Amino acid sequence: MANTPQSKKRARQTERRTAVNKARRSRIRTFIRKVEEALGTGDASAAAAALKVAQPEMARGITKGVLHKNTVARKMSRLSARIKALSAA
């Protein structure tokens, strides 16, 4: 338990920051889910449009320190490869 005034303040800051980061992470997951759902329906153009909307959100997650850059790069790469495969088929 925090005892000093500084540690109490740091605990408050951490609590606020955790809430913000949780909301950001949830928002990014929602955008990714929309791409996944569009892929599930088999509509390549809708999936591509959903990915185009999701990419800036994912990139923002990197700059805000919510997600690691390689994690986002991997997710973007895999989603775009699935869309490419869907549109080729």
Averaged pLDDT for residues 36-40:
95
Map out the domains of the chain with their CATH numbers. Answer: 5-88 (1.20.58.110)
Write down the pLDDT at residue 8: 95
Burial (CB count <10 Å: 0-12, 13-18, 19+), residue 45: exposed
* 59 closest CA partner among 48, 74, 79, 73: 73
Write down the pLDDT at residue 21: 97
Write down the pLDDT at residue 88: 85
89, pLDDT greater than 80: no
Largest CA distance in the chain: 63
Query: Which pLDDT tens digit goes with each residue over 60-88?
Result: 999 999 999 999 999 999 999 999 999 88
CA distance 66 to 25: 7
